[in-house]
Structure 1
Amino acid sequence: MNDAPKQPLISGPRLAGRTALVTGAGLGIGRATAICLAQHGARVIATDIDDTRLSDTLSMLPEGSDALAHRADVTDEQSVSDLFALVGETAPLDILVNNVGGGRPGRIWELSLEDWETTMRLSLASMFLCTRAALPGMIERGYGRVVCLSSGARNGTVWNALHMGACAYSTAKAGIIGFVRDLAIELADSGVTINAVAPGPIDTELAGPFLRAMDEADLPYAPSKMVPMGRLGTPEEVANAILYLASSEASYVTGTTLDVAGGR
């Protein structure tokens, strides 16, 4: 039986001395996560496909933050290779947050194969490519934290399914759970943990207007009706959950999915 490593009490910034890569950091949960990790002392590498959004994110980080931005398409193998070459020149990577995701809504008879494959590429290929690139260094150093963004949609989101259809997105977000569960076992003795966070309806720049419109229209199964807390969540509330899983405090947590969904 392996003895548990002694964990020091956390004092000061919870991620001091750690380097974190956040994908999809240009808006929403990714931006909130980059800010949160920087607030807790991490060196943050923010990546997104939109340079303007990345610049805006960097401008919101705490004054004096050790951070850089790099444009990358994390669904593309060569782009990910270039990104991690840059990361390797910066500092050993301790934390990877796989935040990129999304997809095309529609009922299954309306979806093309391209729609389906685009959704899988955004959520699953991006996660696979970045995690594959990050793990060798983490394993070699005996420390790493990987956090992947799933969703309450992994079980089917009633308001999406009922009003527009979202089987591709739900399938992709369910796939993240299998990825995390398997890799937690593969990595169990390596010092690297991997977990998922599953947000409920979150008031981001992109999703918030749509979710609020459903509430205001008083549609059956509107988001706030389905959430026991009766409101949308904030990107910062999701970022705080990611912070915990990215920290040394979560040293005995791996292969789990943490719901941040207001009781749903």
Structure 2
Amino acid sequence: MDQDLSRTSLSRDAILLTGQVALVTGGGGGIGRGIALGLAEFGADVAIVDIDGEAAERVAALVREKGRQALVIVADVMDRDAARGAVATALEGLGAVDILVNNAGGTRPIKLVDMTDRQIDRQIDLNLKGLVAITQAAAKAMIARGAGGSIINIASIEGLRAAPTYSVYAACKAGMLNFTRTLALELGEHAIRVNAIAPDLVPTETMARFAPGIVSPEGRAAQARYIPLGRAGNLDDCAGAAVFLASAMAGYVTGVTLSVDGGTWASSGWTRNDADGWRLFN
């Protein structure tokens, strides 16, 4: 048998990110914080980009407690010059950008007919346009270094399904997924892999503050009915997916969207109840 067809060289070290540098946008809180800490746990040094410098500093301190280098970059990725500058600062401060995690984004529910032009523009700027300049700058740096790389876009299940009161946000996340697939083709020849993570419900401090029902007993009971794994996601769920996609374990994975949703994308209207198990639209 050809040696290439019978390789069994995979080792535990393939999951490690030792010696690599990750840049995480929106790394000061929520899913971004979880991913920054997860990448550091597996050996990466981390540049934390956030508009909230104090929040980013708190995450940086936790990264350093893990024995890794951390660099705080206060920037708004919606500002193209600031986004490109963040990559330049990471290169200067940490020497490379091997992993880019485009996590910055967000939304609040509102019907399209009620949205102002300013609200629409902000949704597009934050959730779609905001990742283009920093991805372009990071990709150029990866190509120049010649060591490959991993770009991970944090999308949403709302990019895969209809999302009433989140129409513009959902459209942006769908655009992010096609951006991911297309860029995977463009950058493949440089050994740069581009993938996306599509979380569903992952309660964060901000979400709990603005939508307390999500963490209420009633909310948790509803989650047990419509999420096949019976619970909401957490930061480690997303961090684990990011670590995998950033590592050599995913060395032949590019252009994919990994749903980190407890099975809700698969359930597609099926809900669970104690009496009958799974039922459709009930």
TM-score (norm 1): 0.89
Map of 1:147 onto structure 2 = 152
Q: What is the SS of the residue equivalent to 1:253? A: coil
Query: Which residue identity does 1:198 align to in structure 2?
Result: A
Query: Which residue identity does 1:74 align to in structure 2?
Result: V
Question: Contact conserved, 2:203 with 2:234, CA < 8 A, in 1?
Answer: yes
Residues 106-151 of structure 1: CA deviation (Å, up to 9, x unaligned): 1111011211111111111121111000011212314110000010
Distance in structure 1 (CA, Å) of the matches to 2:224 and 2:133: 35
Distance in structure 2 (CA, Å) of the matches to 1:53 and 1:67: 13
Shift of residue 250, structure 1, vs aligned partner: 0.7
Q: What is the SS of the residue equivalent to 2:13? A: coil
Distance in structure 2 (CA, Å) of the matches to 1:17 and 1:64: 12
Distance in structure 2 (CA, Å) of the matches to 1:52 and 1:114: 27
Question: Contact conserved, 2:208 with 2:214, CA < 8 A, in 1?
Answer: no
Note closer, same or farther for the CA distance 1:225–1:108 as it changes in structure 2 (3 Å cut): farther
Map of 2:167 onto structure 1 = 167
Map of 1:45 onto structure 2 = 47
Map of 2:34 onto structure 1 = 32
Q: What is the SS of the residue equivalent to 1:195? A: strand
Q: What is the SS of the residue equivalent to 2:206? A: coil
Note closer, same or farther for the CA distance 1:103–1:213 as it changes in structure 2 (3 Å cut): same
Map of 2:276 onto structure 1 = none
Shift of residue 230, structure 1, vs aligned partner: 2.3
Out of 76, 81, 85, which is 1:82 matched to?
85
Shift of residue 12, structure 1, vs aligned partner: 8.3
Question: Contact conserved, 2:41 with 2:66, CA < 8 A, in 1?
Answer: no
Query: Which residue identity does 1:108 align to in structure 2?
Result: L
Distance in structure 2 (CA, Å) of the matches to 1:112 and 1:104: 13
Out of 65, 69, 74, which is 1:71 matched to?
74
Map of 2:248 onto structure 1 = 248
Q: What is the SS of the residue equivalent to 1:198? A: strand
After superposition, residues 125-140 of structure 1 pair within 5 angstroms as: 125-140=129-144
Distance in structure 2 (CA, Å) of the matches to 1:243 and 1:104: 28
Question: Contact conserved, 2:15 with 2:248, CA < 8 A, in 1?
Answer: no
Map of 1:179 onto structure 2 = 179
Residues 189-235 of structure 1: CA deviation (Å, up to 9, x unaligned): 2100000000010011112455550574858x955532112221101
Distance in structure 1 (CA, Å) of the matches to 2:210 and 2:51: 23
| Counterpart check, 1:236 vs 2:240 | no
Q: What is the SS of the residue equivalent to 1:207? A: helix
Query: Which residue identity does 2:184 align to in structure 1?
Result: A
| Counterpart check, 1:18 vs 2:20 | yes
Where structure 2 has 5 or more consecutive residues not aligned to the other structure, the ranges are 265-282
Query: Which residue identity does 1:75 align to in structure 2?
Result: M
Pairwise CA RMSD: 2.3
Note closer, same or farther for the CA distance 1:215–1:31 as it changes in structure 2 (3 Å cut): closer
Shift of residue 13, structure 1, vs aligned partner: 6.9
Shift of residue 241, structure 1, vs aligned partner: 0.3
Aligned residue pairs total 255
TM-score (norm 2): 0.83
Question: Contact conserved, 2:50 with 2:73, CA < 8 A, in 1?
Answer: yes
Moved more, 251-260 or 58-67: 58-67
Where structure 1 has 5 or more consecutive residues not aligned to the other structure, the ranges are none
